[in-house]
Amino acid sequence: MQSIRQYQKIKAQVRDICLNTDLAYLEKSIDTDSSTSVDEEKLPSTSSSPSQVPGVQVRNIVGSNGQKEYVFIVGWDGDVDPVKPKNWSPTRRWVATTMLCLISMMGAAASSIDAAVEPQSTEAFHVKDEVGTLTTGCYLFGFAVGSLVAGSFSETFGRNIVYVISGAIFMIFIMAKALAPNFGAAIAFRFLAAFFGSTPLTCAGGSIADIWTPLEATFSLPVMTIIAYAGPMLGPVVSAYMGESSAINWRWADWIMLIYAGLIMGLVFLFQPETYEPLLLSWKAEHFRKITGDNRFKSEAEATGSSSLWTRLRTSIYRPFLFTYTEPIIMLFTIYLIIIYIVLFTFMSGYPFIFQEVYGISQGLTNILWVAQIVGDFLALLLVPLLYSWTKKEYEKATAEGKSLKPEVCLYYSMMGGSILLPVSLFWMGWTCYPEISIWSPIIGSAFFGYGLITVFTSIYLYVIFVYQTYAASALSFMTFGRYMASGAMAVGAIPMYRSLGPHYALTILACIAAVMAPVPFLLYRYGHAIRRMSKRVQNKD
């Protein structure tokens, strides 16, 4: 709905430009260029003065026939163009960001919502507990595969239509899972739901970059990640008592997910604007062509012949894997996130061993204890204003010295106790979950794990975006693929691990692995600049 309004608003803007400016200026620019025989790729851009055309440049390009031709490149009218997403009011940009948080949380919550009712679903499908964890594992596998292709569709058709269509298909497969007649159908539908549900989490970073400046993104992106990535912790809480309930059955976990998704997608359809600038500019160029009858008006993407969907898909699938042997930063971060996500998703099956068996509490209450991790996650929101102010000061200082902002400032989140608290919280939970020790001790430990997880995650995402810039999408795709594939595999092995080792030693092993990675943010803060200079694909090497 908002996209339609934007389309009409751009049409009205172009009509006003055509009525109130001298379009003949463009022809005069061509005549001037031809008479002076200046062979330039690009003439001086027009300004918003009455004698010129706001946001339009005359450019000499090589056409599809191999001959040079003049085109009118349609762009933004500087920092005053009201249609440009970065020029929207703060309220409108925060509404768009809130929508991104909600749809991202939708896909993330679906990854874990079935975990709380696994005992009942496995019994209904007549499969073993270990096999039953495939409902979570296959969802994570679908998320991994979907993350490789979602970005290409959003860069071809725009963000909004991809969010809406993928969200609608996601809902169809969630409904199919709720009606699944057997276990094979259930895990197949979970995989397909995740494939389409991965779109918001994959593309949300691009949408944030569309509407916020790089400096502003150091505030808005952490807010989005902290809220959206509470989804896996929220899922078991939502379906906590559905498995044990006599009023409803375990399938209501999927029905509740469908209802939530329907509400969110309704809001997105009504209120989420299109943010992808190349698409908005192509609409603007289209209106210029229709109103003036001159086909020389083109957007930058149209003039340069942007890649086809197939080319984008092929690149998005193979390019991320180039980072496996060329980029030590990406490999290090991928391993770090794999460890964190393995812990998170093995908790889905591990919580009954940590809390239910040790303290004798019910299945429903065990799932409610995920609230502690959510509290830890949201505690990280308190850091956002503080670290943004620090980042802004660093930015102003660097600008005054004629330098760029050092990406290492993005590591502040994990250095504010996050990377240290990850192993500490796991040791804490592992060695205090005894009947003679209060249940509140491992609960508090889990809250610190939630805090550590989100602060490390936020640091990694911000750092990769600042360092790799145009390659960031490929780098993040590889990291997403790696962590979901690995955590999906380990989710299936969680029950045997906790059953054979017990919660004390299982958590101790995971804590030791996390402890090895704890120094990573501090080492990168100290030596990151040297590592960046040696990298082939790092674009911010200063």
* Distance from the first to the final alpha carbon of the chain: 43
Residues listed for the chain: 542
Integer Cα distance of 162 and 48 in angstroms: 34
Collapsing DSSP to helix, strand or coil, 65 comes out as: coil
Q: Is residue 397 part of a domain?
A: yes
Q: Is residue 537 part of a domain?
A: no
Beta sheet of 68-74, edge-to-edge order:
56-62, 68-74, 297-299
Domain endpoint, select from 304, 323, 353 = 304
Residue 79: CB atoms within 10 A of its CB come to 8
Say what the pLDDT of residue 536 is.
73
* Domain ranges, residue 496: 85-274+311-528
- Measure the CA angle with vertex 226, ends 223 and 227; round to 5°: 85
Integer Cα distance of 461 and 337 in angstroms: 10
Tokens for 251? 């399938």
CA quadruple 531, 510, 443, 115: dihedral positive or negative? positive
Positions of the chain with pLDDT under 50: 37-51
| Residues 253 and 298 placed together within one structural domain of the fold | no
Q: Is residue 182 part of a domain?
A: yes
Nearest to 479 by CA among 348, 344, 327: 327
Q: Is residue 145 part of a domain?
A: yes
CA dihedral 540, 218, 231, 484 (to 10 degrees): 10
| Residues 38 and 65 placed together within one structural domain of the fold | yes
Distance of CA 344 to the CA centre of its chain: 18
Could you tell me where the beta strands, DSSP code E, fall in 152-304? 297-299
| Residues 403 and 481 placed together within one structural domain of the fold | yes
Q: Is residue 536 part of a domain?
A: no
| Residues 476 and 420 placed together within one structural domain of the fold | yes
| Residues 211 and 64 placed together within one structural domain of the fold | no
Nearest to 388 by CA among 458, 450, 330: 458
Say what the pLDDT of residue 306 is.
62
Q: Is residue 539 part of a domain?
A: no
Q: Is residue 110 part of a domain?
A: yes
| Residues 322 and 284 placed together within one structural domain of the fold | no
Nearest to 194 by CA among 161, 237, 235, 223: 235
Strands 68-74 and 56-62: antiparallel
Which residues does 261 contact at the CB level (< 8 Å), separation at least 6? 106, 110, 167, 170, 171, 174
Integer Cα distance of 16 and 364 in angstroms: 61
CATH number, domain of 163, equals: 1.20.1250.20
Q: Is residue 224 part of a domain?
A: yes
Integer Cα distance of 523 and 341 in angstroms: 22
Domain endpoint, select from 254, 286, 304 = 304
| Residues 197 and 249 placed together within one structural domain of the fold | yes
Can you tell me which residue has the tokens 């056409």? Answer: 63
| Residues 63 and 91 placed together within one structural domain of the fold | no
Nearest to 173 by CA among 155, 198, 153, 152: 198
Tokens for 275? 């943010």
Burial class (CB in 10 A: 0-12, 13-18, 19+), 502: middle
Nearest to 277 by CA among 211, 329, 359, 181: 211
| Residues 73 and 198 placed together within one structural domain of the fold | no
Residue pair 414/455 in contact (Cβ under 8 Å)? The answer is yes
- pLDDT, one tens digit per residue, over 433-473 is 999 999 999 999 999 999 999 999 999 988 888 887 767 77
The CA distances from residue 522 to 187, 323, 408, 416, 528, in Å, are 41, 22, 9, 10, 9
| Residues 378 and 448 placed together within one structural domain of the fold | yes
| Residues 443 and 393 placed together within one structural domain of the fold | yes
Q: How many domains does the chain have?
A: 2
Tokens for 286? 């289209």
| Residues 319 and 468 placed together within one structural domain of the fold | yes
- What are the respective helix, strand and coil percentages of the chain, to the nearest 5? 75, 5, 20
